[in-house]
Chains A and B, each alone.
Chain A
Amino acid sequence: MGRWLRRLRVLLGGRRFDDEVRKEIDFHLAMESERRQENGESEQEARRGARLAFGAVDGVREEVREARGMSFWDTLVQDARYGLRTLARSPGYTLTAVLILALGIGANTAMFSLINGVLLEPLPFRNGDELVLVRQQAVQSSRADAGVSIQELQDYRSRLASVEDLVEYHSMSFTLLDHGEPDRVDTGVVSANFFHMLGIQPLLGRSFLDGDDDLGAEPVLILSHAYWQSKFGGDPSVVGRVLEMNDKQHTVVGVLPPYPQYPRDNDVYMPTSACPFRAAAEAEPTSHRTFAGLRVFGRLAPDATLERASGDVAAIARSFERDYPQDHEATRSLGFTGDAALLGEELVTNARSALYVLVGVTVLVLLIVAANVANLALARTLRRGRELSVRTALGAGRGRLARQLVTESVLLALAGGALGVGLAGLSTDLLAGFIGRFTPRTGDIAVDGRVLLFALVVSLATGVVFGLAPAFALRRDLAGGMKEGGVQSGAGPSRHRLRAGLVVAQVAASFALVVGAALLLVSFYRLATKPLGFETEHVMTAAIYGNFSSLETTEDTQLFERQVLETLRSSPGTRSAALTAAVPQSAIVPGNVPVTLDGFGDGTPYEVDRNYASDQYFDTLGVPLLAGRDFRPGDTPEAPRVAIVNQSMAELWPDADPVGRRFTVRGPGMPGMPGTPDEQSFTVVGVAADYRLYDVEQENPAQYYLPVSQNPGRGTRLLVRVDGEPLDAVPIIKAAVHRADPLTPVEELATIAEVRSATHLAAPRLTAALLAIFALVALAITLVGLGGVIGTTVSQRSHELGVRMALGASRLSVLRLVLWEGVALAVVGVVLGTACTVFFSRVLSSFLFETPATDPLALAAVAALFLLAAVLATAGPARRATSIDPMQALKVD
């Protein structure tokens, strides 16, 4: 150990070490010559004598360097200089190799920067690895986190010792009024100690203080950095300003620094007491025990482990079910429980498989790149056979030559790596956007020191690996290089096998990639063209959240809703209009509501999904009503409560004919919404056909719809069926809403098809596109490599081919001979690639929609493509082979 440290010190000392050795030798010579002068020699004689007695000074210096382990580096510098000179002499080879390497190393560096940012960097919070999420879930339903209710949070605060500083978070969308211009803001509703717990200090003003979240406290706001910049131009005097929200005056008390917000980006933050729904729910402590809308997290206690915390949460959650049987009636059969999860893990779970696929892809690309460049280097060594033979003859050992070759390839790889890091830097935004669809942890994705180190290591490793191939071949056949025609010498069968093997490896790896890309493309096509059972292109949607200040009462809201619909329905170009709670195919998941059928079944509740719709909703979407009637204006809050069910829910009744029958919903009403009792019965008035309201990868749930007219405030999404160009409806929709209430913002205008494309299709489209790009690049590199190998073979065999033709072989048979050689390599590669695919597609399968990972048709199609491509890549050299002049070929010898 000490020895290496000493050597490192000498190495880093560089010139200083040489100077010291020189000084040491000078001292010796001076002393020796002084001694000789004292013995009576003349100054000149003494100096000469000292030098003679010392021996060759340069030789000694060299030996000293060697003794210090410096000779390795001296040789390296020599080799590198020589390598740079030879590389500069063949710019074509150098450029090709560097570009190909840049692709491979760049792709891997970019991928590592993703992994580094998403999985390796610590959470950007104080001791982020101690943060845990407290989750509750019903085991048999598919949701990992069903949220926590206010009462449950209070119980956890008093009983959960292994997690400290519990804070709550949920997100709302409110209208903020400033200068009279309505602005919809994403609002984080949090406990007062939220920022303190995370260790975030405000940039301006103060953080929330204890008491800010007490019921009845003065409403205060903290602005996010981005919102402060965009809406207030970074004006520091914003602190102290009063903004109107939800009909109340809120004082801005602080501005956050720019930090990656979790769980999501919000425009503003308010304490829990300022949120009208949250405050109302807290004011009614006895009800809504299971109205669980909160995300709860905290910090592991100093002596606690995640396992203990998880066990504690589970025990407390189970006690809720025991202590509050009525509240848990609905979920009892589903196995209500809880656990704790590391926040850092939780944030990246969904991104893992996407990252693994990308890693698999880029490793394959690097493999192809290394094999390809190895082949280029081999071909070049072949051409350099003469030079290398001369050097051997002059005394260079094989090891020395091999070292030279590896040094050259490492130089190439380093240049490729540098260029690759540039490419990676350019692509991180794109990749961060991609992975951002699976995780919020994209804030730390950047080319930092660790990423650079990774790129360096990968470059060195790649350089050594692809440099070893020609060095290895060198061992076999250097002899004979000095003979006449040395350029073509050294092409022994072993070397040809090596080159062929490298091509086969490339074909195999790119085959797996192309198959993967093909599967993803097929899957994306199936996903995008999956029939949804309703119209998406000609339905324009918009978000209209009623404004609290002008719509004070239920009647106001109802009037507003009716006015908007009536104006739209009488506008030219619109066929129908409806209100609902959520845009079909937007980022929504089915809820589950416990439903019992009056007079049927044993009273065990079914899990059913609840939705809200106005009249003409099914009409607008083009979903047929199979029985009964649509909602109508007469379904007022005073009229009997009605519902429309979908086909799947209708089938819960034994005769599937529920019109006129009743069902009952038990469970929590909506807190802060008086008039939604905990138990309600509804009369079924209609049955609608099943259609895909949710992501098509979800099972279509049993559903019922309640009329917006009996549930005022639920119709926050507008659906408008248009005849012509959907964009033309935008001004019509805005005008209609503003005629009913000028203060209600009209937002998120898009057709359902656009909504679907942005939410459910964007990630698979990007995945498929990314993989397709990689696959095409890999295929191109491979085909060029294949063509190159066959080309070299043809020029090596030109003599043999010439002899064949002189002996009467037809041009066609020569063509076939050469083509077959290329195709044979491709066939072997495809066979190996198929084996490779079996492994790779297992990773892919979670990304495939209605497409088996080992789709024989896709495999066969891609295999055919490869064989065709192999023929094309070989065609050039094959044609060249047929045009060999037998006379010329014979004359060469």
Chain B
Amino acid sequence: MKANGKSMKMNRRRFLASFFKGAACIAAVTSLPRLAFAGWNEKAFKAETLEGALSSKYPGLEVVDSSSVKLKAPAIAENGAVVPVSVKTDLPDVKTISLFVEKNPSPLAATFHLTPVNVADVSIRIRMGETSNLIAVVESGGKLHRVQQEVKVTIGGCGG
């Protein structure tokens, strides 16, 4: 009986050990895509107002207008489906750069996550449904540095 009990324990121990090893493997495998993709802020992208998108994306961060952020976009976009936009800044320690189109059905267009090796200079082509303010914010030093520009759109880019 005694011997039996001992081997039972061993079995349980062995079983538990292999169980945890297995669990660790599964955890490692499922966390892999997380490493490649830090996640998509669905709430911010689905927000329908500029304020909503901004506060879901950057809760509690102070927004200041900044002349250190350079936003390059056309004053008049003939085709709202393809509006080239560039954002550049000399601010130190830039964590993220986000682009918002105030009057788009979902104002948040994109967020760029920078690493210390990045140079804060990004470009993208976005859609604009109608003439609207284009807002770029740069997250640096615990603040949001904002710059905005109006882009006139002659043909909307949101289909329909």
Say whether A and B bind each other.
no
Write the residues of chain B forming the contact surface with A, with a CB cutoff of 8 angstroms: none
Write the residues of chain A forming the contact surface with B, with a CB cutoff of 8 angstroms: none
